[in-house]
């Protein structure tokens, strides 16, 4: 965390309880507290079923908490209606998923500007910004192409461009490197880091099983059985370690944290 940085995301006492087909209550999250500050990237790691994706979905307004609060820059969004959450997601949250979720019938530049198009903005209002984003991603030459003509790495870059297009308060990334090779994983992770440093994104939360990817974060949170069990602060500016070394450091810490 940068000294004096503003708190962007605050999660307090968050729980999520499901009822299975047999009528049994399953606690996916059990009182999670998490704060993320401006220009900070936080990675959430842990075994399958630990509640990582549930936490991300709640933060992004894709699901509703059983109890607890979620605030963005001091604004409590927990009690919003479904319509209010939809508008909030559009205007304040950027998503990057493992499976891209690009619209196959829209061009690359239209996919980047999807939130503006859905909001009925005029082309003159969104097109220049979308081209600027594609230029940052080295994809401007592909602006008029359809997603199926791109490589997997290129499609993930388009998905990332869509996520930062509106300069969101928080970018939520769910296994964004899961389908990518090391080269393209590094491109996406470095873009995320650059987006934070350039204030294209105010803060980021990354859910991943890729501990090397977690090494790009400022902090790593270990989640198990719906509870945060440990936290690792990682100053990338002074660590002086390679990507592989940072990933191994996270791996060693996590083995101890989940023991």
Q: Is the pLDDT of residue 237 over 80?
A: no
Across 36-45, 214-223, 234-243, least confident range: 234-243
pLDDT score of 238: 44
pLDDT score of 56: 94
Q: Is the pLDDT of residue 3 over 70?
A: no
- The residue with greater pLDDT, 127 or 73, is 127
pLDDT score of 2: 60
Report pLDDT digits (tens) over 9-27: 999 999 999 998 888 899 9
Report pLDDT digits (tens) over 42-67: 999 999 999 999 999 999 988 999 99
The alpha carbon dihedral of 104, 106, 110, 116 has a sign of: negative
Across-strand partners of 122? Answer: none
The alpha carbon dihedral of 117, 123, 124, 126 has a sign of: positive
pLDDT score of 85: 85
Q: Is the pLDDT of residue 93 over 50?
A: yes
pLDDT score of 1: 57
Q: What is the mean pLDDT of the chain?
A: 89
Question: By the 8 A CB rule, do 29 and 14 touch?
Answer: yes
What predicted TM-score, i.e. pTM, was given to this entire model?
0.90
Domain 7-257: homologous superfamily in CATH: P-loop containing nucleotide triphosphate hydrolases (3.40.50.300)
What confidence category does residue 29 fall into, taking pLDDT thresholds of 50, 70 and 90? very high
Q: If you average pLDDT over residues 104-116, what whole number do you get?
A: 96
Q: Determine whether 73 is exposed, middle or buried from the number of CB atoms within 10 Å of its CB (0-12, 13-18, 19+).
A: middle
Alpha-carbon 83 to chain mean position: 22
Cα–Cα distance for residue pair 200/196, rounded to 1 Å: 6
E runs forming strands in the chain = 7-19, 25-37, 41-45, 67-72, 75-76, 93-97, 170-174, 204-207, 219-224, 227-233
pLDDT score of 59: 94
Report pLDDT digits (tens) over 190-222: 888 888 888 888 999 999 999 889 998 999 999
Report pLDDT digits (tens) over 61-88: 889 999 999 998 888 888 888 888 888 8
């Amino acid at each position: 965390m940068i000294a004096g940085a503003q708190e962007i995301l605050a999660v307090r006492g968050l729980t999520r309880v499901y009822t299975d087909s047999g009528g049994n209550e399953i606690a996916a999250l059990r009182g999670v507290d998490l704060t993320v500050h401006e220009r900070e990237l936080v990675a959430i790691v842990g075994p399958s079923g630990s509640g990582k994706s549930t936490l991300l979905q709640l933060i992004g307004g894709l699901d509703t908490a059983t109890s607890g609060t979620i605030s963005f820059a001091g604004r409590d969004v927990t009690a919003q209606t479904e319509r209010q959450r939809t508008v909030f997601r559009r205007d304040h949250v950027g998503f990057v998923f493992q499976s891209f979720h690009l619209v196959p019938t829209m061009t690359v530049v239209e996919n980047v500007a999807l939130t503006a198009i859905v909001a009925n903005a005029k082309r003159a209002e969104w097109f220049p910004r979308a081209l600027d984003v594609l230029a940052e991603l080295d994809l401007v030459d592909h602006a008029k192409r359809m997603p199926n003509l791109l490589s997997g790495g290129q499609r993930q870059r388009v998905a990332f461009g869509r996520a930062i297009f509106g300069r969101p308060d928080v970018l939520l990334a769910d296994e964004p490197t899961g389908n990518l090779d090391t080269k393209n994983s590094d491109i996406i992770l470095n873009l995320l880091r650059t987006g934070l440093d350039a204030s294209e994104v105010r803060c980021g939360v990354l859910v991943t099983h890729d501990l090397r990817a977690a090494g790009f974060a400022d902090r790593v949170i270990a989640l198990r059985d719906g509870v945060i069990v440990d936290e690792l602060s990682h100053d990338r500016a002074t660590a002086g370690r390679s990507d592989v070394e940072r990933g191994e450091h996270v791996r060693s810490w996590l083995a101890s944290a989940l023991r």
